[in-house]
Structure 1
């Protein structure tokens, strides 16, 4: 993998190399927002895998268009809520899925894109509440409760892996295949 002085890996160039070296047939590939690029999505699909790619503010035009449209349309979108209790906290995730992608000009080149997913998450610990909204792009067209299940699966796998690794491969029911857990940040 390409390295910079000091031995660190240059993630933007290492991610496509890693994806290219793996057998992804029937696997779900989740990668940190740094990999939310059309070329990575195409490579994953070319290797017969599927993806939810995290979309962050660094993808300026796309993030802005997606966040504005999803917020404006969320009342009419299919959604599902999941609540987790445990370890003195309450976590809620409401997942919205948009599969009519015709109005998203900035995503016109994403040939395999099937859904845009928005997750509004809140966490209550004692008297403190934090919340955030996350977005991802996926080639899959799933119901909101299925995407919510993917988020839950990622969160459970993450603590068991060393923090510097930022790639995740997950087997998924509609995509039968090997299950390999690495690190995920979405």
Structure 2
């Protein structure tokens, strides 16, 4: 029993995180990433892994390079220190943000993403708010039960430090720094 290897297949990222250990992310029979579960979750090496290993799915937004980081297509600039990389990797980006990193109250340094409520779903003790914004539809995962009127104006707030950046080929360029303790 102590020397046993158990393979557990799931399509639920939450289950994999609860089990811990090591995770292999596969798609169409192809191994996309393997490693300690928390590492795979916090540093998905590609857009394919980010899409597969995030519930709700990671919010993905096209972006272009800007003087201080990147600009979301149709939206605001995000001040980020992008890593050094070959020029062909810095032509265009996909910015990703987990639903749990979006808020409805601003904090210092946040970027505002105004929009309209398209749908609000209560699931257990969380509320998932689907919002149409200038950068596309975003889904915010809010702790607690919240009520929103369909079509109502809403502003989501994003801390640029919580943004994932993928290059034009879908490879991870930058992941948010990890927080320990409270944040």
What TM-score does the superposition give when structure 2 sets the normalisation length? Answer: 0.32
Q: TM-score, normalised by structure 1?
A: 0.32
More helix by share: 1
Q: Higher Cα Rg: structure 1 or 2?
A: 2
